[in-house]
Amino acid sequence: MKKNFIGISYVLVSALLASCTTEKKDHLTPIFNGKDLTGWHIIGGEATYSVENGEIIGETVANTPNTFLVTDATYTDFILELDFKTDSVSNSGVQIRSNSFPWYRDGIVHGYQVEIDPSRRSWSGGIYDEKRRKWLNPLEGNKPAQKAYKPNDWNHFRIEVIGDTLKTWINDIPAAHLIDDMTKEGFIALQLHSIGKKGKPGVEIKWKNVKLITQNLDTYSKASPLEPIVTKNNLTFQEKKDGWQMLWDGKTTKGWRGAKLDAFPKKGWKIENGILSVLASGGGESTAGGDIVTEKMYADFEMKTDFKITKGANSGIKYYVDTELNKGEGSSIGLEFQILDDERHPDAKLGNHEGSRTVGSLYDLIKADENKHMNAIGEWNTAHIISKQNKVEHWLNGVKVLEYERGSEAFLKLVEESKYKDWPNFGLLEKGNILLQDHGNLVSFKNIKIKTYE
């Protein structure tokens, strides 16, 4: 009897321990019903998706763009788990917080992607920014995660998206840990990557057990042992490869001075929580702290920054600035990427040509594309200026909104008809400072970066 009692006790204790150490998944809700594609739709190319034996089966098709099976619903914060199976060569991925907007490159799918990468590189579980910034959190140096993928077998993803923090696991091995706040909401999608003309059509990629939770996330969130990659005021992995540099360090005034001063202004500007803000003064142009400029001068370059405006705000990013030109009242002189609340500020209806003072425009000279997209007041937008061999482009939120050529007949005619006609060699400097404008309104900046072509 004693032996039987011990045996029974051992079984009971073992079962109890197993129940304590095995994570329960009953908090997860399926978003794929296992029968059909109700709740999902296809965007992009012409690859196919079907359902068989409780599995979503994607099949590659030649000569078609990336194809996505997309949730009808959009999500903000969630924990997602799913199983996937592919071969040893076929690239794929799981889109999270992704979107398709008519204004963004004709509706192309863009956003965070948890990579499925069975190649020799083995970055499955890394985070890629589809059709935007490319690699954000690759698996360089993460050998355990690189070895975790099992070709031609079922693999498991756990993906946490909570606030600005994205964490991934592949087969229970920590893969990525990213802090990035570019996108707060979007759909979930399963990707069939384009195979071009040389790829093999008919290759199957499968998914099953697609489940998530959107409530009580703190209860179920797991800590990651990985050091997070932080993108705010830092270069991304891809930017480092492409030769970008930080133009502002996110903490100090290093590299910047007042446009009409030898040092940074003592008032009118504030640095707080990685955000550089020109404060509201109630005055007009450059009447408080005044404009600030880079200490260095730049010839051919790309510059980009995130900016956020308040209601009725006016500001700008000037380039090829000569701070010696205007020593009197008002702003320093240079070409300007206009920052403006088009809906509320009267400047939106003014300019050499009506609309040439709207956001994204070349101030007082060229109106930005009417189909441009500006995020709501209080949300971040991205300005991107490209100037190479006198050919200049303005981009707003990832879309080109105008282009022109410095020194061309068309450009010189526009200058002659504008408020800048009396300034010598306006817009024609070989190099100049980059300026952030104080126009008396609260406007904020972060992620200020530059790439030079010298």
Rounded CA-CA distance 344/396 in Å is 19
Q: Comparing C-alpha atoms, which of 336, 308, 321, 344 is closest to residue 259?
A: 321
* Whole-prediction pTM: 0.89
pLDDT 10s digits, 154-203: 999 999 999 999 999 999 999 999 999 999 999 999 999 887 766 777 78
pLDDT 10s digits, 409-451: 999 999 999 989 989 889 999 999 999 999 989 999 999 999 9
Does residue 4 fall inside a structural domain? no
Collapsing DSSP to helix, strand or coil, 334 comes out as strand
Does residue 6 fall inside a structural domain? no
Q: Is the pLDDT of residue 21 over 50?
A: no
Is 46 found in the same domain as 121?
A: yes
**DSSP secondary structure letter of residue 368:** P
Does residue 250 fall inside a structural domain? yes
Separation in Å, CA 69 to CA 38, 65, 331, 417, 425:
11, 13, 51, 52, 54
The pLDDT value recorded for residue 159 is 98
- Name the pLDDT band for 70 (thresholds 50, 70, 90): very high
**CATH number of the domain that 99 lies in?**
2.60.120.560
The pLDDT value recorded for residue 344 is 87
The mean pLDDT value of the chain amounts to 90
Does residue 5 fall inside a structural domain? no
Q: Comparing C-alpha atoms, which of 316, 297, 294 is closest to residue 307?
A: 316
pLDDT 10s digits, 256-275: 999 999 999 999 999 999 99
Work out how many domains the chain is built from and give that number.
2
Query: For the chain, first and last CA: distance in Å?
Result: 88
Do 419 and 285 form a contact (C-beta atoms < 8 A)? no
Rounded CA-CA distance 282/291 in Å is 15
Q: What are phi and psi of 120, to 5 degrees?
A: -60, -25
Does residue 15 fall inside a structural domain? no
Is 190 found in the same domain as 313?
A: no
The pLDDT value recorded for residue 302 is 98
Is 269 found in the same domain as 202?
A: no
Provide the percentage of residues in the chain whose pLDDT is more than 70: 92
Structural domain boundaries enclosing 29: 25-229
Q: Is the pLDDT of residue 15 over 70?
A: no
The pLDDT value recorded for residue 123 is 96
Is 144 found in the same domain as 95?
A: yes
Does residue 2 fall inside a structural domain? no
- Name the pLDDT band for 346 (thresholds 50, 70, 90): confident
Is 329 found in the same domain as 375?
A: yes
Lookup: tokens for 214: 């959107």
Q: Which helix (H) or strand (E) holds 415?
A: helix 409-416
Is 181 found in the same domain as 278?
A: no
Rounded CA-CA distance 9/15 in Å is 10
Does residue 36 fall inside a structural domain? yes
Lookup: tokens for 101: 């907007």
Q: Comparing C-alpha atoms, which of 340, 318, 348 is closest to residue 330?
A: 318
Rounded CA-CA distance 192/60 in Å is 6
The one-letter code for the residue type at 396 is L
Does residue 396 fall inside a structural domain? yes
Rounded CA-CA distance 233/275 in Å is 9
Asked which of 23-32, 91-100, 305-314 is least confident by mean pLDDT, the reply is: 23-32
Lookup: tokens for 166: 């994205």
The one-letter code for the residue type at 306 is D
Contacting residues for 102 by C-beta, under 8 A, at least 6 apart: none
Segment 22-28 shows an average pLDDT of 67
Is 173 found in the same domain as 87?
A: yes
Greater model confidence, 331 or 197:
331
Rounded CA-CA distance 322/426 in Å is 9
* Sheet of strand 433-436, all strands in order from the earlier edge strand to the far edge: 256-258, 292-294, 433-436, 314-322, 333-340
- Name the pLDDT band for 351 (thresholds 50, 70, 90): low
Asked which of 113-122, 352-361, 368-377 is least confident by mean pLDDT, the reply is: 352-361
The pLDDT value recorded for residue 13 is 39
Do 84 and 157 form a contact (C-beta atoms < 8 A)? yes
By the 10 Å C-beta count (0-12 exposed, 13-18 middle, 19+ buried), 241 is classed as exposed
Rounded CA-CA distance 351/365 in Å is 7
Lookup: tokens for 237: 């992995």
The pLDDT value recorded for residue 286 is 57
